[in-house]
């Protein structure tokens, strides 16, 4: 066993209101400069929809992620080394700017400088930020925002679900899906990079790009099934979400987490066995979720703790792993799920799936919203189909997706009964195999957790952050980078507490 630490994130989709604050603050922090006008390290999509870039989940088209060959071996969908090198100067599996969107700006001066007495109201016209020419805006990173079905029929996740997902107006559904780089345990982008510029940090698992080694071959863009690697067209270098590692090193959460209005993001440390990653990525689709959970190690196991000490991890990391909200949501409560585990990258950004108003739905159907059987039976009739959630988070396994929704529904019903009249709904607890203490702890974490409970970042980072200031900044701090080549990026040591 080779024990490793991974900084991981869980997002509770029930709490996402689609405000895009996370996207804006990430954009202002990391991609507000020349060459990154079209780049969003964090974006919020409306599902169902085709996403950003368009149809990024269609791996038959883009050939991202991994697959099993005829002998059951794990291979990149984009091909082996020889195939990638043969088309290194002409890669056909790349999204075009129209798949992202052509960024625009506006001639705002006309609104304040137009002469008086005009018969027509001055209008600011859009201009391309790439060419400077007039243009018409036809797509954007959040073009589908809150449309709830306008592009539903084009969503790759709905293939084969026509009999289960109806397109009638009264059955239209939607929810918001925030996305960042998954910082995978088995990253396809790292394996596909010909120059070795993509790498996964040993100390915390964050995947980064060495700007000095990057040669702009763009194989990483093709290989990433989530299309979260971009090319800066001004520098010709690949760029991606850095998991805000300068903040993490200072003991602070990522900027998207810090500014999240809905407080839906959780950050923490997971221990995992590096030797088990390959085996977990090569199991059949129906076993992928259990296999990935099996890679994670119990932070309360004395043997795991000792292995972490033997590997040189400080005591603060061991304590942080035990307090990790990510561990609780993924492995203890088992309600967080990975995005598209069938890509076999073993993603490390997980999601608590959205639950429709199940208690209201039970009442509307004439069922008893305090009866366990009635609540569980209502799950199949919810506005957001279980089959669609399964296509996103469980490689199509509706039983697993439905089981998570049942836990969430039982938690709501149990807490409502306990709050209204103090009763303990044993039938609900028995139905999901959890104790009253577990359900109440899960409710607290999901609903009312404070700042220090949502973000458990090892104290060791804060202790060493001052020394990191002398190392010369971050992986994007070069010509055209967010630091504009102006020296080390300052690390803020203070943190806020008690929110």
Q: What is the pLDDT of residues 17-62, one digit of tens each?
A: 999 999 999 999 999 999 999 999 999 999 989 999 999 999 999 9
Contact call for residues 271 and 299 (beta carbons, < 8 A): yes
Q: What pLDDT is attached to residue 88?
A: 78
Kindly write down the DSSP assignment for every residue of 291-317, as one continuous string: HHHHHEE-TT-HHHHHHHHHTT--HHH
Name which of 133-142, 299-308, 372-381, 401-410 the model is least confident about: 372-381
Average pLDDT for 69-87: 86
3-state helix, strand, coil in the chain (%, to 5): 40, 15, 50
Contact call for residues 408 and 352 (beta carbons, < 8 A): yes
Q: What pLDDT is attached to residue 295?
A: 97
The whole-angstrom separation of Cα 305 and Cα 10 is 23
Domain ranges of the chain: 281-454
For residue 444, is pLDDT > 80?
yes
Share of the chain above pLDDT 90, in %: 62
Would you state the structure tokens that stand for residue 123, as one six-digit string? 């209008």
For residue 359, is pLDDT > 80?
no
Share of the chain above pLDDT 70, in %: 85
User: Torsion angle of alpha carbons 424, 427, 429, 433, nearest 10°?
Assistant: 160
Q: What pLDDT is attached to residue 150?
A: 64
- On the 0-12 / 13-18 / 19+ scale of CB atoms within 10 A, 172 is middle
The whole-angstrom separation of Cα 52 and Cα 226 is 9
CATH architecture of 281-454: Orthogonal Bundle (1.10)
Contact call for residues 37 and 251 (beta carbons, < 8 A): no
Give the pLDDT confidence of 223-232 residue by residue, as tens digits: 999 999 999 9
Kindly write down the DSSP assignment for every residue of 74-119, as one continuous string: EEETT--HHHHHHTTTS-SS---HHHH---EEE-THHHHHPPTT-S
The band of 480, judged by pLDDT with boundaries at 50, 70 and 90, is low
The residue with tokens 């040189």 is 312
Average pLDDT for 190-214: 95
Contact call for residues 388 and 165 (beta carbons, < 8 A): yes
Would you state the structure tokens that stand for residue 46, as one six-digit string? 């409306």
For residue 167, is pLDDT > 90?
no
Kindly report the average pLDDT of the chain as a whole number.
Answer: 87
Q: Comparing C-alpha atoms, which of 192, 228, 199 is closest to residue 339?
A: 228
3-state per-residue secondary structure call for 137-177:
CCCCCCCCCCCCCCCHHHCHHHCCCCCCCCCCHHHCCCEEE
Q: Comparing C-alpha atoms, which of 489, 465, 494 is closest to residue 475?
A: 489
Q: Comparing C-alpha atoms, which of 314, 310, 327 is closest to residue 269?
A: 327
- Count of beta carbons in the 10 Å neighbourhood of residue 147: 14
Q: How far is CA 54 from the centre of its chain?
A: 17
Would you state the structure tokens that stand for residue 199, as one six-digit string? 């790498």
In the chain, what is the greatest distance between 2 CA atoms, to the nearest angstrom? 81
Q: What pLDDT is attached to residue 496?
A: 42
For residue 498, is pLDDT > 60?
no
Q: What pLDDT is attached to residue 427?
A: 85
Is it true that the peptide bond before 496 is cis, omega within 30 degrees of 0? no
Average pLDDT for 253-277: 97
For residue 168, is pLDDT > 70?
no
The whole-angstrom separation of Cα 331 and Cα 427 is 23
3-class DSSP assignment, residue 215: coil
Q: What pLDDT is attached to residue 363?
A: 63
Among 130-144, 149-163, 194-208, 447-461, name the most confident range. Answer: 194-208
Would you state the structure tokens that stand for residue 256, as one six-digit string? 């998207």
Kindly write down the DSSP assignment for every residue of 312-367, as one continuous string: T--HHHHHHHHT-HHHIIIIIS---EES-GGG-S--SEEEE-----HHHHHHHTT-
Would you state the structure tokens that stand for residue 95, as one six-digit string? 């999204």
For residue 182, is pLDDT > 90?
yes
Average pLDDT for 196-219: 94
The whole-angstrom separation of Cα 370 and Cα 380 is 17
Contact call for residues 277 and 466 (beta carbons, < 8 A): no
Contact call for residues 7 and 267 (beta carbons, < 8 A): yes
Q: What pLDDT is attached to residue 164?
A: 61
The whole-angstrom separation of Cα 392 and Cα 390 is 5
The band of 258, judged by pLDDT with boundaries at 50, 70 and 90, is very high
Would you state the structure tokens that stand for residue 359, as one six-digit string? 């208690």
Would you state the structure tokens that stand for residue 422, as one six-digit string? 């103090």
The band of 494, judged by pLDDT with boundaries at 50, 70 and 90, is very low
Greater model confidence, 34 or 376: 34
Would you state the structure tokens that stand for residue 167, as one six-digit string? 């397109």
Would you state the structure tokens that stand for residue 458, as one six-digit string? 């090892």
The whole-angstrom separation of Cα 235 and Cα 215 is 10
Q: What pLDDT is attached to residue 92?
A: 81
Give the pLDDT confidence of 91-131 residue by residue, as tens digits: 888 999 999 999 999 888 887 887 877 777 888 889 999 89
Name the phi and psi angles at 149, rounded to 5. 125, -5
Contact call for residues 74 and 66 (beta carbons, < 8 A): yes
């Amino acid at each position: 066993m080779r024990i490793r630490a991974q900084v991981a994130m869980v997002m509770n989709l029930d709490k996402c209101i689609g405000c895009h604050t996370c996207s804006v603050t990430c954009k202002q922090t990391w991609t507000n400069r020349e060459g990154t006008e079209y780049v969003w390290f964090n974006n919020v999509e409306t599902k169902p929809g085709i996403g950003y870039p368009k149809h990024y989940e269609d791996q038959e088209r883009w050939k991202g992620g991994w697959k099993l060959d005829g002998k059951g071996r794990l291979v990149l969908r984009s091909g082996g080394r020889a195939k990638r090198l043969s088309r290194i100067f002409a890669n056909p599996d790349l999204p075009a700017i129209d798949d992202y969107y052509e960024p625009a700006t506006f001639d705002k001066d006309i609104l304040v400088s137009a002469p008086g007495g005009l018969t027509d109201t001055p209008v600011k016209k859009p201009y391309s930020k790439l060419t400077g020419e007039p243009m018409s805006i036809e797509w954007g990173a959040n073009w589908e925002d809150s449309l709830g079905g306008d592009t539903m029929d084009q969503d790759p996740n709905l293939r084969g679900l026509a009999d289960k997902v109806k397109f009638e107006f009264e059955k239209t559904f939607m929810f918001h899906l925030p996305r960042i780089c998954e910082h995978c345990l088995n990253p396809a982008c790292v394996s596909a990079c010909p120059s070795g510029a993509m790498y996964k940090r040993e100390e915390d698992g964050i995947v980064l790009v060495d700007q000095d080694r990057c040669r702009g071959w763009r194989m990483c863009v093709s290989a990433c099934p989530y299309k979260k690697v971009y090319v800066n067209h001004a520098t010709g270098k690949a760029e991606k979400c850095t998991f805000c590692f300068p903040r993490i090193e200072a003991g602070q959460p990522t900027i998207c987490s810090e500014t999240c209005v809905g407080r839906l993001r959780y950050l923490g440390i997971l221990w995992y066995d590096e030797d088990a990653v390959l085996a977990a990525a090569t199991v059949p689709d129906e076993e992928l979720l259990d296999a990935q959970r099996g890679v994670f190690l119990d932070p309360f196991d004395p043997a795991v703790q000792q292995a972490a000490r033997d590997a040189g991890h400080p005591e603060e990391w061991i304590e942080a792993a035990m307090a990790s909200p990510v561990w609780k949501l993924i492995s203890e409560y088992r309600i967080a799920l990975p995005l598209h585990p069938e890509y076999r990258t073993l993603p490390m950004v997980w999601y608590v799936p959205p639950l429709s108003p199940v208690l209201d739905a039970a009442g509307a159907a004439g069922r008893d919203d305090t009866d366990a059987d009635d609540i569980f039976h209502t799950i199949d009739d919810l506005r957001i189909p279980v089959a669609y959630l399964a296509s996103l988070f469980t490689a199509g396994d509706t039983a697993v997706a439905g089981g998570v929704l049942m836990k969430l529904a039982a938690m709501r019903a149990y807490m409502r009964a306990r709050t209204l009249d103090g009763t303990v709904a044993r039938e609900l607890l028995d139905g999901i195999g959890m104790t009253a203490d577990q359900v109440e702890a899960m409710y607290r974490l999901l609903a009312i957790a404070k700042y220090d409970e949502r973000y458990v970042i090892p104290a060791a980072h804060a202790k060493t952050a001052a020394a990191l200031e002398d190392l010369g900044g971050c992986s994007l701090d070069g010509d055209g980078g967010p630091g504009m080549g102006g020296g080390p990026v300052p690390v803020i040591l203070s943190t806020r507490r008690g929110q």
